[in-house]
């Protein structure tokens, strides 16, 4: 997988912690899309974005 030497991210330990995973779990079980971002945030969207 392509690495990253120039994209800024939040400290790795705060990305995908238990709180993030719980929010993702709840949103997915509610039928929503979730995005785990490199800034450490979890974004929830109601519809499937265009890929």
Which residues make up the interface to another protein (CB under 8 A)?
Answer: 1-4, 6-9, 12, 15-16, 18, 21-22, 24-25, 28-29, 31-38, 48-49, 51
Name the minimum Å distance from CB 39 to another protein. Answer: 9
Q: Check residue 18 and give left, alpha or beta (phi > 0: left; psi -120 to 50: alpha).
A: alpha
CB of 41 to another protein, least distance (A): 10
- Measured from the CB of residue 8, what is the shortest distance to another protein in angstroms? 8
Token pair of 38, please? 């490199």
CA–CA distances in Å: residue 35 to residues 11, 26, 40, 47: 17, 13, 10, 12
């Amino acid at each position: 997988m392509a690495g990253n030497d120039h994209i800024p991210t939040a400290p790795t330990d705060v990305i995908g912690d238990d709180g993030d995973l719980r929010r993702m779990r709840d949103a997915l079980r509610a039928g929503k899309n979730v995005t785990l971002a490199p800034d450490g945030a979890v974004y929830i969207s109601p519809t499937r974005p265009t890929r």
